[in-house]
Amino acid sequence: MATIVLVLTALLVIFLISFFKIAYDTISCYFLTPRRIKKIMEKQGVRGPKPRPLIGNILDVADFVSQSTAKDMDHITHDTVNRLLPHYVAWSKQYGKRFIYWNGVEPRLCITETELIKELLIKYSSKAGKSWLQREGTKHFIGRGLLMANGSDWHHQRHIAAPAFMGERLKSYAGLMVECTKKMLQSLQNAVESGQTEVEIGEYMTRVSADIISRTEFNSSYEKGKQIFHLLTELQSLCHQATRHLCLPGSRFYPSNYNRQIKSKKMEVDRLLLEIIQSRKDCVEIGRSSSYGNDLLGILVSEMEKKRSDGFNTNLQLIMDECKTFFFAGHETTALLLTWTVMLLASNPSWQEKVRAEVNEVCNGETPSIDHLSKFNLVSDDLPSFSISIPFSLKIQNSGRGGK
């Protein structure tokens, strides 16, 4: 009987310790730490809009954006900051060049001084990284790939991925890029010939960039690559919806329709990637192939195996996360850039004529190739400059403790 009492007492003590630790961590995360950071920043003269408990300034940002995008743009302009990031504009005018606002319980320190930004990126680059909320918001569709890696993990993963982006390697992809672009242009011409007077050019740019990244990343496994792309696009959309809501502890375990959808699509992406990777490794192990392939996936697997022999801990999940990262980063950013460029050319017919004339002169009726790029002057140097505003954020370790 005494033994049972001791066991029950020990279990009760363990339960109470765990409960109080979880309670303290939760209170510290959601209340104590934000309050401490806010006070430290105020002592340094950095202020911002008053945050609401738990949700911070999320609703304020949403309200600013909904107002700025409620109407279509009157005319095409490069000054898109007021429309896309209205909260930055309003708060910088109210609180100065340095201000702080809150994304839930996570602070966002905004700085606009060029020299200070340069100092941050150079002097504190080893301490910079992606925040917990950023990593949580993207873990389902890009995992812990290079884009979301921090510290020593980022350095290791960067060295693994670097060989895939050497100059000669990128040049070898030119043929695939031309082939995919021709296919896209043909589909666009077919749409026009069928009587369409308007086309959504963004869809064509998305399609061609996805086509190129699928071929360069998976090559012989191209069809599976297209499936992975569609699944990742759906995952990205679902995860984007989640960024608009407060992330509470344990919410990912709640059996909601949203969580079930994410889990199902993530498992399908991982299954397809695992099949491709495992088939490459099997071919090398049984002697059917001497390498893992010349595409991005093959290079990643090869570099991983080299790092493994050097004592670096590698796993298949990391390779899969890198594939997701390059799929996401390589496709979306390129599609947006191409769409913006086409829009600018469409709104400036005189520049269309100038660029077209130079391309005809340099290529002389041939298909553009790598050898032609160095001969373009107008295309590479003199096109009207443009910019797309992107909020760039980093996490600084122990940011609440440092001085000014």
User: Residue 244: its pLDDT value, please?
Assistant: 56
- The answer to pTM > 0.75 is no
Q: What is the arithmetic mean of pLDDT over 319-326? A: 82
Place of tokens 């504009």: 89
Whether the predicted pLDDT of 138 surpasses 90: no
User: Residue 31: its pLDDT value, please?
Assistant: 85
Closest CA to 371 of 171, 150, 86, 122: 171
User: Residue 94: its pLDDT value, please?
Assistant: 92
**Listed range (98-102, 277-281, 312-316) with the worst mean pLDDT:** 312-316
User: Residue 24: its pLDDT value, please?
Assistant: 83
Whether the predicted pLDDT of 137 surpasses 90: no
Question: E strands of 354-393, at which residues?
Answer: none
64 band by pLDDT with thresholds 50, 70 and 90: very high
Give the C-alpha separation, 362 to 404, whole Å: 54
Q: What is the arithmetic mean of pLDDT over 33-49? A: 89
* Residue 104: HSE in the Cβ half-sphere, 13 Å Cα cutoff: 16
Give the C-alpha separation, 322 to 161, whole Å: 8
The mean pLDDT of the chain is 79
pLDDT in tens, 207-217: 888 888 888 77
Whether the predicted pLDDT of 91 surpasses 90: yes
pLDDT in tens, 292-305: 777 778 888 887 77
248 band by pLDDT with thresholds 50, 70 and 90: low
| Domains of the chain as residue ranges with CATH | 2-69+79-128 (no CATH), 160-347 (1.10.630.10)
Give the C-alpha separation, 319 to 326, whole Å: 11
